[in-house]
């Protein structure tokens, strides 16, 4: 009888083992957040039983659950500006020698730990909130090249020759070089100060007006799509850098750059953060060809998926035109229209075509 029972159990064992593994996985259906939230994932958010044992697939269901329950911001959403000014900006670490000013990096870090907020899956949420604050007239942003943006446009130019231009804040990096200040602060007023132009008829010889100063004929850089297209109308394009802060945006870089027909095209990508299973992960590749057999973008995306919280991710595509490329304005304009919102651009142009210097 013992052998007969063992044979019967042996036939039942595979199905019982499978059900044990399935139900063990499905038992983990509780979602707990640091703010005290506790909820149970309904059936529609769980992985179907016939797919459950094929590997880890629960992240997408969890993501959908957090979106539907309004527990996490969607990549195209932004925080209410007044809530941002109340809960986020005051808690960010200010710049030591510039009271009232914050780096975009410090604001991003505060965003991830501020109370009373939903989870922040991507940096685009932070960037869009800052842009919204500038558009609402409550924030001023100053970039690394001195350009300062407010609701009325941009103030640019070297000290003593600062002027206002019709431009809007479209893309910028959340790093230590982008600075924020509340509108109305002394620092914001200093950033937005416009210098008076010399009156006509003054300073010339014999009352003859001083002729207007011609713009510099040397190389220039642009870090907004508006300026990139503007310079491309008259100047040869030397270099173009496209920087993505998420794997989704990085996947679109090659398609964006392909029509340009660059003489040289290289990738740099880096990702680092904490592993979901403990420990730390980091990967970087610098100036490699897009078709490199190691496939650095795929590796970086795989590690990004395996990391907990919000990993640091950056992918940069560099296009070089050895002798300068003219007539690129239309191509760059189409590129700007197709580019993801979180894509940062930096371009270098030569002196205007036909200008002998």
- Is pLDDT of 218 > 80? no
* pLDDT surpassing 50 at residue 157: yes
Tell me phi and psi for residue 104, to 5 degrees: -60, -30
**Rounded to an integer, what distance in angstroms lies between the CA atom of residue 67 and that of residue 192?**
39
pLDDT for the residue numbered 212: 44
pLDDT on residue 267? 86
Q: For residue 101, how many other CB atoms are within 10 A of its CB?
A: 20
Confidence grade of residue 149 (pLDDT, cut at 50, 70, 90): very high
Percent of the chain with pLDDT over 90: 23
- 57, pLDDT greater than 80: no
- Residue 280 structure tokens: 């730390």
Asked whether residue 310 carries a pLDDT value surpassing 70, the answer given is no
Residue 137 has pLDDT above 70, yes or no: yes
Count, residues in the chain: 357
What pLDDT, on a 0 to 100 scale, did the predictor assign at position 216? 42
Cβ proximity of 350 and 219 under 8 Å: yes
Residue 214 confidence (pLDDT) above 50: no
Burial class (CB in 10 A: 0-12, 13-18, 19+), 208: exposed
Determine what percent of the chain is predicted with pLDDT higher than 70. 89
Write the pLDDT tens digit of every residue in 224-283.
Answer: 888 899 999 999 999 999 998 888 888 888 888 888 888 888 988 888 877 777 777 788
pLDDT for res 311: 73
Residue corresponding to tokens 């642009």: 222
What's the pLDDT band for 197 if we cut at 50, 70, 90?
low
Which range is least confidently modeled, 164-173, 196-205, 230-239, 341-350? 196-205
* Domain-wise residue ranges, the chain: 81-191, 220-349
At residue 206 the predicted structure's pLDDT band, cuts being 50, 70 and 90, is very low
Instruction: Round to whole Å and give the CA distance between 162 and 158.
Output: 6
Instruction: For residues 177-196, give the mean pLDDT.
Output: 92
Q: Residue 269 pairs with which residues in a beta bridge?
A: 285, 315
Yes or no: say if 229 and 332 are a contact pair by the CB < 8 Å rule. yes
């Amino acid at each position: 009888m013992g052998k007969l029972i063992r044979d019967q159990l042996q036939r039942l064992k595979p199905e019982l083992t499978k059900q044990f593994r399935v139900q063990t996985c499905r038992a983990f259906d509780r979602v707990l957040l640091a703010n005290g939230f506790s909820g149970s994932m309904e059936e529609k958010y769980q992985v179907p039983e016939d797919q459950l044992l094929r590997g880890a697939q629960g992240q997408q269901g969890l993501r959908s659950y957090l979106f539907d329950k309004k527990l996490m911001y969607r990549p195209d959403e932004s925080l209410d500006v007044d809530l941002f000014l109340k809960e986020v900006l005051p808690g960010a670490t200010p710049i030591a020698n510039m009271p009232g000013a914050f780096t975009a990096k410090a604001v991003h870090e505060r965003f991830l730990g501020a109370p009373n907020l939903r989870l922040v899956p991507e940096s685009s949420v932070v960037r869009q909130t800052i842009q919204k604050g500038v558009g609402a007239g409550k924030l001023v942003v100053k970039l690394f090249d001195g350009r300062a943006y407010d609701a009325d446009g941009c103030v640019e130019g070297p000290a003593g020759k600062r002027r206002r231009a019709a431009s809007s804040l479209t893309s910028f990096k959340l790093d230590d070089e982008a600075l924020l200040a509340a509108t109305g602060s002394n620092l914001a007023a200093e950033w937005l100060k416009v210098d008076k132009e010399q009156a006509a008829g003054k300073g010339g010889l014999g009352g003859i007006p001083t002729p207007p100063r011609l713009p510099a004929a040397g190389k220039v850089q642009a870090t907004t799509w508006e300026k990139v297209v503007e310079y491309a109308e008259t100047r040869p394009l030397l270099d173009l850098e496209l920087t993505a802060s998420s794997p989704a945006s990085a996947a679109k870089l090659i398609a964006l750059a392909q029509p340009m027909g660059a003489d040289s095209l290289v990738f740099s990508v880096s990702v680092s953060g904490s592993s979901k299973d403990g420990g730390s992960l980091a990967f970087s590749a610098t100036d490699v060809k897009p078709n490199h057999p190691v496939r650095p973008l795929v590796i970086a995306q795989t590690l990004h998926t395996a990391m907990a919280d919000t990993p640091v991710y950056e992918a940069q595509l560099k296009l070089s035109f050895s002798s300068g490329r003219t007539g690129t304005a239309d191509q760059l304009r189409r590129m700007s229209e197709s580019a993801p919102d979180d894509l940062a651009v930096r371009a270098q142009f030569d002196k205007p075509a036909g200008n002998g210097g």
